[in-house]
Chain A
Amino acid sequence: MKDEKKVKIVKRIKIDADQCNGCRACEAICAAFHAEPKYSSVNPARARIHVIHDPLRDIYLPVYAGEYTPAECAGRNTYTLNGKEYDECAFCRASCPSRDLFKEPDSGLPLKCDMCETDPPLEEPMCVQVCIDDALTYEEVEVEVEEEEEAKIEDLELGLEALIKKYGLDETMKIMARMAASEQE
């Protein structure tokens, strides 16, 4: 098993922060494209991309919404790059409790970049299309990935322990029972 490789297409948005002019066209089009119906409203607070900008420190950094996480990081780090200080959250794509970024402004539900997947598919995600200064470019690359090994039973035990610690044994068992029941149906 271990040596077998699979070829997978990875969609990639390349971010060249040096080219970013801070116009936020990416935010506007993202919000509009994901409106229902398409383009029927604009509200950058609904965008799945956000340009972190701090002109007086020459910081322009487009960040895409990634996975939702219910937990905050334990600590906060800062990075200094070329003399400019960035909060680590600047590079983080998560919709998380420590900030209001990448959440629907009304409901607070997390937002996540879907690469504008639509039928028929677009040549490029909309944010890339409107970024004619090429801070954002798009590519599809083939990558070889190793077949995932089956999860070890010890990992399962560790995971369950964490859940029990967080939600209590009763609650965890109830959910397990319900899942088992629906599986059988």
Chain B
Amino acid sequence: MRYTETGFNLEVDLTKGNIERVPTDPRLTEQHLGGLGTNARILWDRVPPEVDPLSPENVIIFSSGLLGGTLAPGANRTIVSTLSPQTGLMAFSMMGGFWAPELKYAGYDKVIVTGKSPNLVYLWINNDTVEIRDASHLHGKGALETAELIREELNEPRARVLAIGLAGENQVYYASIEHERSSASRGGIGAVMGSKGLKAIVVRGTKDLNIAKPAEFWEECDKVLKYIEFRRENPIKGVPPILAGLGSPQEMAIHDEQWHTTSFSWGNARVRRKDFWTEERAKAWSEIQTKSVERLISCYNCPMRCGAIVPHPELPTHRYMMKCYSKLTYVMGAMADDLEFGFKIAGLAQEYGVDGYTAPQVMAFAVELYENGILTDEDLPGFPKKNEDRFFYLLDKIVHREGIGDILAEGVYWAARKIGKGAEKFDHNTIKKHEQIPIKLGMLNPIYYILWSTGEKINITQIEGQMPQAPFPTKELKEDFIKDWIQIPTGKEEKFKQFIMEWGEEGKRFPFWPPPDLICDLVEWQETMHYIDDTVGLCAGLSSFPLKPAYHIHNLPLLISYGTGLDIDEDRLWEIAKRTRNLVRAINVRRGLRRKDEKPPEDHWKKRFPEYEAKLLDEYYRYKGWNKDGIPTRETLEKLDLGFVAEDLIKRGILTDGDGNSEKKEEK
């Protein structure tokens, strides 16, 4: 018997209309655990580097994580992996909600979709009965509306639906996949679904998911739950309220938006409004928030209420669900001072199915081009005067791919190059062709420099975490923070605690402090914990993202071992995460990723130090066992049982046979 996983994937070829239930290889579970890990392996094995992301040959995988659907609180993530039409690299996007656990209960770990259906279809998975159904009547329908209509026609209110909106159907490069209160939105994975003619995947499951060591497993889960309860009463001291608790930032519950509105940039990542958060605004925004949030809601088996039900009378569904930060992204992108605008446009955008980070930035970019005469009234006929109205106008053009919208639908990087006339200069907030969170700061932060540069999720929130954003102002707060900081990996405790204690003191400030080895340790720790979450299917909001999370490198091996019956300790878990990390890098290297792509936008910090930055990057590559161009060396790959990857890279001339032997590496 298989534990915590079902041992079966569902393989769907939409060209042939073929569906198969395929047993999985338990050895792959031992090598990669599941979720992102096994997804990466499938993409490496099946999608050669020359495949166009929007062609039938691309594979899109909808996966549960290894612990998804078990009693582990927050183990509910759906991990969608494919190749991104925007970046050309592996797309990382995950979402919470209810879909992945339901898939497990239906008896599958993953749904692997390839090919292209001649007409729009949806997939209906009802335990052992799986069918491809016509979706032509759902063409153009909003994502939530689609889910409603499908549940109605199947007469199954308990079915869980993930779906694309019009943006996905029209292959907008930042189209999202929407599911109830969650979206998998980064990298244009909704466009890949659209390219396959797949409108939705619907699942209902009523089977058992087995646990290897039930009593021990539940005991660990119960501890996690008790810790979540403890943290409700004991927020971290000395940090803004939005960072003090667990969960995805509590944007729905917390009304104090000083941190986001004054730290992040407005418009096309242009202006910081340090004096935005006045008492008057705080009051007005709080009233709107109270009015706009009908109920705080959760994902499957998680007590954190990161989402909310938001009334929206203009939508066919009359309500929608929001989480995290999208109430602000449109407001800030449009330089609108009105939070109500944010709630209104976010609902519409979600029904169309666009990424709440990228979409407002593309629109702000277009507004800037217009204001600078690069786009004209000819490109934007009838362009409204007010920024809020302009955003609605642009959203409509983009999702319909109408006029200039057809170009803007490909995101800032590609649009800038297609528009030309100097538009490239206004593309100042993308990394690896992907729009970043709009943060423009003063002094180079060497830890974040490495995170922004080398992260292949290409989204900072998905690789950062657990570290304060600034030094604590007093010794007492520092001491209070480190006294029960148990989340640190074995062997690094003193080093990390010392960092917290010293940070901010004379001579212990960025950019030339801390020393490179500590920078590397901190970066690798932050990123590795995210890779583990995405593999086991845990929400980063309880794990790799917030300060002092409920899950960490010490209880995760126990949960995995008790759940699966495998024997996984801290070192082995770290090694598995490393294996997956290197496999992801290999997939991207094979598709052309190189050192030249690994850099934050030039104006990300005012004060930059090119030589020092290059040295840091060298140091980090060495630390990771990668060569000077950021490619994992043969030795690194072989040590991680990825010899077959090394062989492939050598065969393609990406690695030379000698690569890896010439460089000295530091061990973790």
Contacts and interface: CB of A to CB of B under 8 A. Distances in A.
Interface of A: 18, 21-25, 28-29, 32, 35, 37-46, 54-58, 60, 105, 130-133
Interface of B: 69-71, 73, 98, 105, 144, 148, 157, 180-181, 205-211, 214-215, 217-218, 225, 228-229, 232, 294-303, 305, 309, 317-321
B71 A39 contact: yes
Contact of A55 (B69, B228, B319): B319
A144 to B, nearest CB: 36
Contacts of B229: 132
Given A58-B319, A60-B295, A32 B210 contact: no
Q: Which 8 A-B pairs give the minimum distances between C-beta atoms?
A: A45-B206, A39-B214, A23-B298, A41-B208, A21-B298, A105-B206, A40-B214, A39-B218
Nearest to A28: B301
B71 A32 contact: yes
Nearest to A29: B71
B180 A55 contact: yes
A21 B303 contact: yes
Contact of A25 (B209, B302, B305): B302
15 contacts: A23-B302, A25-B73, A25-B302, A38-B214, A39-B215, A43-B206, A43-B207, A43-B209, A46-B208, A55-B321, A56-B144, A57-B319, A58-B309, A105-B207, A132-B225
A132 B319 CA distance: 26
B329 to A, nearest CB: 22
A23 B73 CA distance: 10
A21 B305 contact: yes
Contacts of B206: 43, 45, 105
A177 B542 CA distance: 63
A40 to B, nearest CB: 4
Contacts of A58: 294-295, 309, 319
A29 B69 CA distance: 11
A22 B160 CA distance: 14
B319 A32 contact: no
Contacts of A44: 105
Contacts of B303: 21, 23, 25, 130-133
A18 B206 CA distance: 27
A23 B296 CA distance: 11
Contacts of B98: 24
B144 A37 contact: no
A43 B105 contact: yes
B319 A56 contact: yes
Given A29-B71, A40-B210, A55-B321, A24 B300 contact: yes
Contact of A42 (B69, B215, B305, B319): B69
Given A39-B71, A42-B69, A132-B225, A24 B301 contact: yes
Contacts of B296: 21
B225 A42 contact: no
Nearest to A105: B206
B514 to A, nearest CB: 38
Given A39-B217, A57-B319, 16 more contacts: A21-B295, A21-B305, A22-B297, A25-B73, A32-B211, A32-B218, A38-B218, A39-B218, A42-B208, A43-B206, A43-B208, A43-B209, A45-B207, A46-B208, A54-B157, A60-B295
